């Protein structure tokens, strides 16, 4: 059973909903009369992207990108490989990258560069969770849902071995879970 794997709920469904409403309202204010495209980073960003887009009361467009880091865990890593690109031409557009979590910052720093190079008018980041103490690459995050400690969490898009993304809250798992998968 799914429920028996869950140790502690750190951020509830209600808290996620409220914070997403606040960020959506802020983006609505900040981007009035601008041509905005939200780019969700697959797969983790899916729940946050779906919830956030419906709290932005502007005619935004949506796209998705899927990337993977080269040589994860190595100091030299800073490159990301695009596994599935966006379809949209972002030249002259205001891009908001939507992410579930920022950890080392490598993914976000690389994507920000890529979109700037392609001629976006501006590139900002909206991220649900920020593990600040893990940062290797400094990257400015304009919209942050919650700062969280360096603990292994799942839910609301965040996975362990591709599972638990569908949980509507952020939680930790019992250590026994990591032995079984
Ligand atoms: C996770 C997470 C972010 C990224 C953050 O994605 O969803 O996209 O890692 O890490 P960083 O700040 O150290 O770059 P992952 O590569 O696990 O893919 P997923 O979204 O499909 O789970
Ligand atoms: Mn991801
Ligand atoms: Mg993952």
pLDDT attached to residue 77: 60
User: Which two three-digit tokens encode residue 3?
Assistant: 């429920």
Q: Which residues are catalytic?
A: 103
For residue 110, give every residue at least 6 positions away whose Cβ sits within 8 Å of its Cβ, in sequence order, or none. Answer: 67, 78, 79, 80
Look at ligand 1, atom 16, and give the residue with the nearest C-alpha: 68
Domains of the chain with CATH codes? 14-150 (3.40.50.2020)
The strand pair at 36-42 and 94-102 is best described as: parallel
Residue 87 CA to residue 85 CA, distance in Å, equals: 7
0.85 surpassed by complex ipTM: yes
83-114 in b/e form (b: 16+ CB < 10 A) is: eeebeeebeebbbbbbbbbbbbbbbbbbbbeb
Structure confidence by residue, pLDDT tens digits, 35-47:
999 999 999 999 9
Region class of 157: left (phi > 0), else alpha (psi between -120 and 50), else beta:
left
SS3 31: coil
Spans of the chain below 70 pLDDT: 70-78, 180-181
pLDDT of residue 71: 55
Q: What pLDDT score was predicted for residue 75?
A: 55
CA of 61 to the centre of ligand 3 (A): 25
Q: pTM for the complete prediction?
A: 0.95
Residue 69 is predicted with a pLDDT of 81
Cα 68–Cα 138–Cα 22 angle in degrees, nearest 5: 85
Which is nearest to 5 in space by CA: 145, 117, 136, 166? 166
pLDDT of residue 113: 97
Q: Best substitution site from 103, 153, 162, 170 to test ligand 1's pocket, by max atoms within 8 Å of Cβ?
A: 103
* Axis-axis angle for helices 13-30, 46-53 (nearest 10): 60
Residue 47 CB less than 6 A away from ligand 1: no
């Amino acid at each position: 059973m799914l429920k028996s794997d869950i140790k502690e709920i750190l951020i509830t469904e209600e808290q996620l909903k409220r914070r997403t409403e606040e960020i959506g309202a802020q983006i609505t204010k900040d981007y009035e009369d601008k041509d905005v495209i939200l780019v969700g980073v697959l797969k983790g960003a899916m729940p946050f992207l779906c919830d956030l887009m419906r709290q932005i009361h502007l005619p935004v467009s949506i796209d998705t990108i899927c990337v993977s880091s080269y040589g994860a865990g190595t100091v030299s890593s800073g490159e990301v490989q695009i596994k599935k690109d966006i379809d949209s031409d972002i030249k002259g557009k205001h891009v908001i990258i939507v992410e579930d979590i920022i950890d080392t910052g490598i993914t976000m720093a690389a994507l920000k560069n890529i979109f700037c190079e392609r001629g976006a008018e501006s590139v900002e980041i909206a991220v649900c969770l920020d593990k600040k103490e893990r940062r290797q690459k400094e990257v400015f995050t304009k919209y942050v849902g919650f700062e969280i400690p360096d603990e292994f969490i799942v839910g609301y898009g965040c996975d362990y071995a591709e599972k638990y993304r569908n949980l509507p809250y952020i939680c930790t798992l019992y250590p026994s879970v990591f032995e079984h998968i």
